[in-house]
Amino acid sequence: EQSSGYEPLTVETIPARLGGISAVTDHLGTDISTWVADEVGDGNLNLVFIVKSPAGAVIVKQALPYVRLVGDSWPLPLKRAFFEYHALIRQEERAPGLVPKIYHFDEDQALIVMQFLTPHIILRHSLMAGKKHDGLAGVMGRFLGQTMFRGSDLSMDTAKRKADLALFADNAELCDITENLVFSDPYFEAELNHHTPGLDDLVGRLRADIDLKVAAQDMKAKFANNAETMLHGDLHTGSIMVTDTETMVIDPEFVTYGPMGFDIGMLLANFFMAYYAQPGHAESEGARADYQEWILGVISDIWRGFCDEFSHLWRTERNGILYQATLFEDQGDYLASEQALAARLQHIFEDTLGFAGVEMIRRTLSLAHIAENDTIEDEALRADCEGRGLRLGRSLTVNRAVFADLDSVISQARMIG
Ligand code: ADP
Ligand code: MG
Ligand code: MG
Ligand code: MG
């Protein structure tokens, strides 16, 4: 599927092609001879450029008609840029100041010109370097609480909600990737799978594990069927950019309506895997023990921050289709409203654990792994770190309903680690 006139940008063609767009020249100036474009090499799917001039800098992100990492043997529609654009607009409305500002969108060219986050770096790189970030957990808890609540039936009216559901339903090809890579491929010998050889025995056991296979399909059913809210869809630590004081979220092209626990669980899983990977990055044995505790603290603070924000919005902004105040507070029945809130949070918690579990498994057995593990050169050590993640992942997926609270999950994570 090719849009009319679509043409991928190059560092050479960017000045001429974007030089006539006032939303871009507002930031870079009109003297395009001073513009310098560089390609950022670390994305998997799209072209991303930093374009600088003496006047300023912008990010230009353009979809390709295929997966950048794999090439044209794996086609992927350009319309994902349209969905990313629409997701970014909604995230900015719902969680102000936590996503890059959009300067320009061109649907035919599948390109978004946006705020250049600087001196931000990708959080995953910090997690390998052992660097702590103040405020990270608070911001991510707030981002999750605000986007989950305000994108749902708890906040939106019927007409808006249905229109958005229909709009994002067309992001089917990216959902299809998630459905296969996350929920199915890890559980059989799918073509694109790979894993560290030292894990062969454990992988064999997991693929023969009936309870796990069924539980993973139960989570897939929730993901595919349960359109609770507008998800980011790819909320791992490579989609978060940080400075010492700031946290921002990028790259929502996998946006879809789905269960709230999906974004939360995927994010927490990536922190658990970073926790287990620390021995592979330690300057000396035990040097990352304190950092590992910091990561566990981030996990627990994100969950608490989510619950606090979600509860606050439940009590102050519940103007949507569900649990209307008419039935509860307006009749003076605050207890009923609190009871419903507690039940919703419990349900989201269970989903969160299940999605965290499948994410940990797929990042070790399926196509896309995480840099924290991939960069551990000592293969036995890598297998050890990854194996711990697999064991926690199995436990969370299968036993998601039996954990009393996040503290008991963290205790189990420590016992495995
Ligand atoms: P992909 O969808 O291909 O994964 P991303 O949106 O994740 O693309 O961008 C790839 C990389 O480009 C990011 O890892 C980050 O290094 C850089 N990048 C993307 N958006 C921005 C931004 N707004 N500011 C600064 N750097 C960015
Ligand atoms: Mg990305
Ligand atoms: Mg992406
Ligand atoms: Mg329970």
Question: Which ligand is the nearest neighbour of the Cα of 252?
Answer: 3
For atom 17 of ligand 1, the residue with the nearest CA is 40
Question: Which ligand is the nearest neighbour of the Cα of 49?
Answer: 1
Pair 388, 276: CB distance under 8 Å: yes
Alpha carbon of residue 100 to chain centroid: 15
For residues 162 and 158, give the distance between their C-alpha atoms in angstroms, rounded to a whole number.
Answer: 6
- CA–CA–CA angle 215, 87, 363 (5° rounding): 35
CA of 341 to the centre of ligand 4 (A): 15
Short-list 176, 278, 296, 276, CA closest to 233:
176
CA of 346 to the centre of ligand 4 (A): 7
Q: Where in the chain is the domain with CATH 3.30.200.20?
A: 14-115
For atom 25 of ligand 1, the residue with the nearest CA is 117
CATH 3.30.200.20, domain 14-115, yes or no = yes
For atom 10 of ligand 1, the residue with the nearest CA is 43
pLDDT at 4: 74
Counting residues of the chain whose pLDDT is more than 70, the rounded percentage is 99
Q: SS3 of 230, please?
A: strand
Dihedral of CA atoms 117, 122, 123, 125 in degrees, nearest 10, equals -140
pLDDT at 351: 98
Which atom of ligand 1 is closest in space to residue 120's alpha carbon? Answer: 25
* Superfamily covering domain 121-416: Aminoglycoside phosphotransferase (APH), C-terminal lobe (3.90.1200.10)
Which atom of ligand 1 is closest in space to residue 121's alpha carbon? Answer: 16
Alpha carbon of residue 28 to chain centroid: 30
Q: 116-166: per-residue pLDDT in tens?
A: 999 999 999 999 999 999 999 999 999 999 999 999 999 999 999 999 999
Instruction: State the pairing for strand pair 111-115/256-258.
Output: unpaired
Q: Which residues line ligand 1 (CB under 6 A)?
A: 40, 42-46, 48, 59, 61, 100, 114-117, 122, 250-251, 253
Q: Where in the chain is the domain with CATH 3.90.1200.10?
A: 121-416
Please tell me the pTM assigned to this model: 0.98
What are the phi and psi torsion angles at 299 (to 5°)? -60, -50
Q: SS3 of 76, please?
A: coil
- CA–CA–CA angle 386, 388, 392 (5° rounding): 115
pLDDT at 262: 99
Q: Of 9, 38, 39, 40, which is best to mutate to test ligand 1, by the most ligand atoms within 8 angstroms of its C-beta?
A: 40
Pair 108, 4: CB distance under 8 Å: yes
Distances 264 to 315, 339, 413 between C-alpha atoms, Å: 21, 22, 17
ipTM score assigned to the predicted complex: 0.97
For residues 54 and 327, give the distance between their C-alpha atoms in angstroms, rounded to a whole number.
Answer: 59
pLDDT at 1: 46
CA of 407 to the centre of ligand 4 (A): 13
- Please identify every stretch of the chain with a pLDDT value under 50, giving residue numbers as ranges: 1-3
Query: What DSSP string describes 358-406?
Result: HHHHHHHHSS---HHHHT---HHHHHHHHHHHHHHHHHHHHSTTT--SH
Short-list 52, 59, 61, 60, CA closest to 29:
52
For atom 6 of ligand 1, the residue with the nearest CA is 251
What are the phi and psi torsion angles at 253 (to 5°)? -70, -20
Q: 73-102: per-residue pLDDT in tens?
A: 999 999 999 999 999 999 999 999 999 999
Which protein residues have a CB closer than 5 Å to ligand 2 (ion)?
43, 251
Half-sphere exposure of 260 (CA within 13 A, CB side): 25
What are the phi and psi torsion angles at 159 (to 5°)? -65, -50
Question: Which ligand is the nearest neighbour of the Cα of 353?
Answer: 4
H helices present in 258-288, as ranges: 260-277
Query: What DSSP string describes 158-189?
Result: HHHHHHHHHHHHT-HHHHHHHHHHHHTGGGTT
Q: Token pair of 305, please?
A: 């921050």
For atom 11 of ligand 1, the residue with the nearest CA is 43
Q: Token pair of 162, please?
A: 């249905």
Q: 268-301: per-residue pLDDT in tens?
A: 999 999 999 999 999 999 999 999 999 999 999 9
Which atom of ligand 1 is closest in space to residue 40's alpha carbon? Answer: 12
Largest Cα separation within the chain, whole Å, is: 67
Q: Of 74, 241, 242, 248, which is best to mutate to test ligand 1, by the most ligand atoms within 8 angstroms of its C-beta?
A: 241
**Beta strand residue intervals within 5-75, DSSP E:** 36-39, 47-53, 56-62, 66-67, 71-75
CA of 303 to the centre of ligand 4 (A): 16
Half-sphere exposure of 412 (CA within 13 A, CB side): 19
Short-list 191, 128, 194, 188, CA closest to 369:
194
Alpha carbon of residue 352 to chain centroid: 13
Question: How many other β-carbons are positioned within 10 Å of the β-carbon of residue 266?
Answer: 28
Residue 67, beta-bridge partner list: 71
CA of 48 to the centre of ligand 1 (A): 6
